[in-house]
Chains A and B, each alone.
Chain A
Amino acid sequence: MSAPNKGIGAGLFGKESGTSYEVYLNLTPLMDVMSNLLFFLLASFGATMVAIMPTTVPTVASGESTPDPEKTEDSVNVTLRADGTGLTLKCESDTLAPDLLKDLGGKIPKKDGQYDYKQLTATLKSIKEKYRASKSVVVVPDDNVPYEIIVKILDAARDTRLVDTKNAILFPDVVLSGIATHDADGNLLK
């Protein structure tokens, strides 16, 4: 009579005698750890839905500006002032006469103590439709205006719902006003 076929390590303590072993691995602590990790990762994923809004401060060119030869369409630069009474829009252009621009923009008073963002978007849209090459808006808020309100103004200025252009941003170049310290090449102004 031959001895039973023991596996490697079998019979070390003299009790195992079969050829196969059924091992029950306790996975519950590992499950606990993983569930916790999963929970924290999912929670932090929801909290980091952060986007960015590109802005600049004004810079002053050190030399004389040369007109862009590819620029054939007329464009306007919009200055948007936000103060305690409301929003004031003013348009300027290098190529257009001031008389043509004086009717654009104007004052948008506050509505129920809040800035009228819908009216702002509508006004900017009418400017953009008239001068389609216009890209930049300079926002000049009062010092006591909270950052949250400035973001709402920038959102209204960057609205993407143009009449006949899908996904185009109304005024993509947003400049927050400040005192220029560098020229367009990044050199410190003295």
Chain B
Amino acid sequence: MAGGGGGDSEYDVNINLTALLDILTNLLFFLMVGFMSSKASMELDGGMQLPTSTAQLEPKKAVQVTVARKELRVEKEVIAQLRDGKVVAAKSQEGKIDPLLQRLQIIRKEKNATGPEADILFVLCDKDTPYGLLRRVMMTAAEAGYPKFRMAVLMQ
């Protein structure tokens, strides 16, 4: 360091970053705690968009079904492919989606849950999904023992 200033072009300035680091660490800590405590985690596809709503209820954890633009998923597993709002190459009877029915029945059997929360499904659905497809998903879920739904929406 060139003491006393002068004609030298190089200055060695030591900024005390410790205080700033303290603030950042605290912020990081609170954000991470808030992130961990969120009751339901959800993963949205790149192209998937949820509709906006005036609903204010907080999401709670439940078995998650995703009706994306191109695929139908239960939790993170792809159950069927979708094209133009219809299920591709999935056998169905009486309007139900067989792969979805089987997967949900397996999950219900595995969890063997009882109580008021046991028959609730958390549904993430793209905003452009036609009701015909959503109705089939809901009908199939009801057949598998999940007649109640928590429809995910974005807060306005």
Contact = CB atoms under 8 A, between A and B. Distances in A.
Interface in A146-190: 146-148, 150-152, 154-155, 158-160, 176-182, 186, 188
Interface in A16-42: 24, 27-28, 30-31, 34-35, 37-38, 41-42
B53 A53 contact: yes
Contacts of A141: 131
Interface stretch (A3-11, A43-51, A99-107): A43-51
B51 A148 contact: yes
A180 B142 contact: yes
For the complex, would chain A's binding face be called helix, strand, loop or mixed by DSSP majority? mixed
Given A31-B24, A35-B24, A51-B55, A57 B134 contact: no
B139 interface: yes
A30 B21 contact: yes
Interface size class on chain B is 35 or more
A142 interface: yes
B147 A186 contact: yes
A143 B135 contact: yes
B136 to A, nearest CB: 9
B55 A147 contact: no
Contacts of B138: 57, 176, 178
A114 interface: no
Q: Looking at B20, B21, B34, B147, which has the most chain A CB atoms within 10 Å of its CB?
A: B147
A82 B60 CA distance: 29
A176 B133 CA distance: 13
B77 interface: no
Given A28-B17, A44-B35, A182-B147, A51 B129 contact: no
Nearest to A49: B155
